[in-house]
Amino acid sequence: MGGYFRTTLLMAFMTAFVAGVGWLLGGEGGLVFALVIALAMNIFSYWNSDKIVLSMYKAKPVGPDDSPRLYGMVKQLSENAGLPMPAVYIIDTAQPNAFATGRNPQNAAVAVTTGLMQRLNQQEIAGVVAHELAHIKNRDTLIMTITATLAGALTMLANFAFFLGGNRDARLNFVAVLALSILAPLAATIIQMAISRAREYEADRIGADICGRPQWLASALQKISGAAKAIDNDRAENNPATAHMFIINPLHVRSIDSLFSTHPSTEERIRRLMSYT
């Protein structure tokens, strides 16, 4: 299924769901209000979801003067991939990780963490950047980023329903409890339905072609996986609906984290990469 088709289905589902919540909370008036909110949310998410995610992680843009080695690496690998030069961002967190975002290759960004820059060598970083460029080339980033934004909005709806339910009548209180009990698992289910684990294998394969050395990415995955299990990423823990965007699942602290596991086995990814050598 193409990225644009999956995105359209996701937006349609979210519109219907938000409308249903609006009806439960406010009848016909709530339904109309919710439809307006859903339409605005879909339009805003399409055009601004990448900015929202980058803002969540306080990502800072860098240019050739700020980080010449990283910027030059992204530029060279983008040329290898036949892609426009994406924006480059750095996220200040000790956990080594990275993600790509943007609605198309002409409006894309690659974000890496300070932990990645400190713990990996240049070849391994190149493998990670190549993997993220593969997501851009495959146009995975549109559905990945919008899914993160809309699934995260479900948590906001749950909090909204809880606030109303806790302060008004018993009917709304029931709705609030129901929302809280199903929205987080529903958000996780939406992500798992919209985001195929196969996309990571494909991005690994294409990324290996872009950098020319599958073993660079394999080594990077091994290091990132081990460190991600030991080093917290607080912003990711507070925004679990964005976890699928990272090259390795950044979550490990909370019990709900397992609901948002969309990554295939790191061992299997490494095995496949090494078979390409």
Q: What are the backbone angles phi and psi of residue 14, rounded to the nearest 5°?
A: -65, -40
Angstrom distances, CA of residue 26 to CA of 12, 19, 34, 40, 202: 21, 10, 9, 19, 45
CB atoms < 10 A from the CB of 265, how many? 10
Using DSSP, state whether 212 is helix, strand or coil: coil
Taking the mean position of all CA atoms in its chain, how far away is CA 21?
Answer: 25
Q: Helix H segments across 120-265?
A: 122-137, 140-167, 170-194, 198-211, 214-228, 234-238
Token digits of residue 154: 């479900």
In 3D space, the residue among 119, 114, 105, 108 whose CA is nearest the CA of residue 67 turns out to be 114
φ, ψ dihedrals at 142, nearest 5°: -60, -55
User: How far is residue 202 from each of residues 52, 134, 139, 230, 235, measured CA to CA in Å?
Assistant: 26, 8, 12, 27, 27
Catalytically annotated residue among 28, 79, 132, 237: 132
Cα gap 70→126, rounded to integer Å: 9
| 132 among known catalytic residues | yes
> Hey, which residues are catalytic here?
132
